[in-house]
Structure formats: C-alpha cells, structure tokens
Amino acid sequence: LAKTTQPISMDSYEGQEVNITCSHNNIATNDYITWYQQFPSQGPRFIIQGYKTKVTNEVASLFIPADRKSSTLSLPRVSLSDTAVYYCLVGEAGGSYIPTFGRGTSLIVHP
Amino acid sequence: DTGVSQDPRHKITKRGQNVTFRCDPISEHNRLYWYRQTLGQGPEFLTYFQNEAQLEKSRLLSDRFSAERPKGSFSTLEIQRTEQGDSAMYLCASSSLPPSLGAGRGVDEQFFGPGTRLTVL
C-alpha cells in the first residue's frame, strides 16, 4: 500500500497561488493520485485525479513528474473559502483498494 | 437525488449501549464506503461494499462493529457495546465503479455524506 507524506499545515494570502506537494515514493505502476478537500464539519470532496504529467480542471491543477514519486496540487489565486484540509491519496481501483487519507494538509488563507 | 444522506446527524449514547447509523447513497452508485474520523485526523477507512457484497474490512475494526447493505442500496453501521473511544464522526461515501474497471482506469470519485457525529458518555 503506497504511503503518502504531506506538510501538516500551510499558510497563504488571498490571491496567491498555493502549491501543496505530496510524496509517494513507493507508488505502484497502476496507482493513480487523487486529491480531496475537506471543510470543517463536512465530508471530503473530490478535487482532481491524475496518473502522470499535468491535469487541470476548473478548480485546480495537478503536476506529476516523470518518476511519479511525488505530486503537487496547485490552487490558483486562493480565496478565504479555500481554507480547508487537503488530502492526497494513492491507489488503483482494480483489486483491493483501501483509500488512505492520512492527516492531510491544513491550508489557512489569510485576508 | 441530491447526494448521500446519513441519519442521524448526531447521536449521544451511554457507554455500553448499541447504536446504528444509516447511509443512503446516491441511487445509481454501486460502491459504498464507511469511514471514521476523529478531530485532527483524516477519515479512517472502515469497510466498503460493492453492491451488497462487503469486499474489504479494516483490520483495525473490532468485532463490535458490523455493517450491512442487504439490497445493495442503503447501508447500516452498527456499533455494539459502545466505548468512549468510539466517539467520532462516522462518514459514508458512495461511488459508481464500472464492473469492468481494471488496471489503469483510475480510482472511483467518492461522494461523501454529511456524517453522523457520535458521542459516547
């Protein structure tokens, strides 16, 4: 089971770009990288998923280097409402995939 | 169908009592997950179902915990003889996983409910 490591917390300011890096040194060939966001007193919400290179959607980008041993979630121009905990998960749905959230990264966006 | 629902939203019970929580997934979703989350920690996987079959169960889960999904729709999670350490938020999530999903197809996007907050006195 691939283990992930993220910073415990990060601080930023409104309008800045935020990059959160996740390390997953023992990622398997078929594993995908998935990021979730969680606000207090709510369940997590899917943000983005990728396998290699770069993936972009309407809320974030995900950068994955060629060796896939890490990934970076990029949030452009954050606002106060982006204050949340962000989780990086690694896995592949075929077979016995057990989602492992870890402690995540607590992002605080300041005015 | 507006999303995953859980009932009750809050439950206060005394140590030693049994409690049961219900989760109603998004109607067309065939996979259903249960998690437990305590303050400052991420959701901890408990178990999941593919339709009515329970495919995985965490080894950390004691035998006081049991989950069912009898008709492949809603699910219940029961905790017997509750302990104070069971106090947590219990989250349910559902997803749609195509039966033919195999290697290289990614993992399912899970949709989470609002959770049931359990307090054991």
In this predicted structure, the answer to whether residue B34 has a pLDDT above a threshold of 60 is yes
pLDDT above 70 covers what percent of chain B? 91
Can you tell me the distance from the alpha carbon of A67 to that of A80, in angstroms, rounded to the nearest whole number? 34
Residue closest to B84 by CA, chosen among B10, B17, B8: B17
Check residue A2 and give its pLDDT: 62
Please tell me if residue A35 touches chain B, with a CB cutoff of 8 Å. Answer: no
3 state SS of B106 = coil
Can you tell me the distance from the alpha carbon of A73 to that of A84, in angstroms, rounded to the nearest whole number? 14
Query: Do the Cβ atoms of A94 and B42 come within 8 Å?
Result: no
> Mean pLDDT in chain B?
89
Contacts of B105 in chain A (CB under 8 A): 93-94
Can you tell me the distance from the alpha carbon of B41 to that of A41, in angstroms, rounded to the nearest whole number? 13
Query: Do the Cβ atoms of B33 and A99 come within 8 Å?
Result: yes
List pLDDT tens digits, range B45-86: 999 998 898 888 888 778 999 999 998 899 999 999 999 999
Interface with A, mutate which of B32, B39, B50, B107 (most A CBs under 10 A): B107
> Mean pLDDT in chain A?
91
CB A72 within 8 A of CB A62: yes
Check residue A1 and give its pLDDT: 55
Which residues of chain A are modeled with pLDDT < 70?
Answer: 1-2, 93-96
Contacts of B43 (CB under 8 A, 6+ apart): A43, A44, A99, A101, B35, B36, B37, B91
In this predicted structure, the answer to whether residue B105 has a pLDDT above a threshold of 80 is no
In this predicted structure, the answer to whether residue B103 has a pLDDT above a threshold of 80 is no
Check residue A20 and give its pLDDT: 97
Residue B5's pLDDT band, with cuts at 50, 70 and 90, is very high
Residue B33's pLDDT band, with cuts at 50, 70 and 90, is very high
Q: What Rg do the C-alpha atoms of chain A give, in angstroms?
A: 13
Return the higher-pLDDT residue of B58 and B13.
B13
> Terminus-to-terminus CA distance in chain A, angstroms?
39
Check residue B83 and give its pLDDT: 96
Contacts of A60 (CB under 8 A, 6+ apart): A35, A47, A48, A73, A74, A75, A76
Can you tell me the distance from the alpha carbon of A45 to that of B34, in angstroms, rounded to the nearest whole number? 15
Question: Across the interface, which of B45, B58, B108 has its CB nearest the CB of A93?
Answer: B108
Please tell me if residue B99 touches chain A, with a CB cutoff of 8 Å. Answer: no
List pLDDT tens digits, range A77-102: 999 999 999 999 988 765 567 788 88
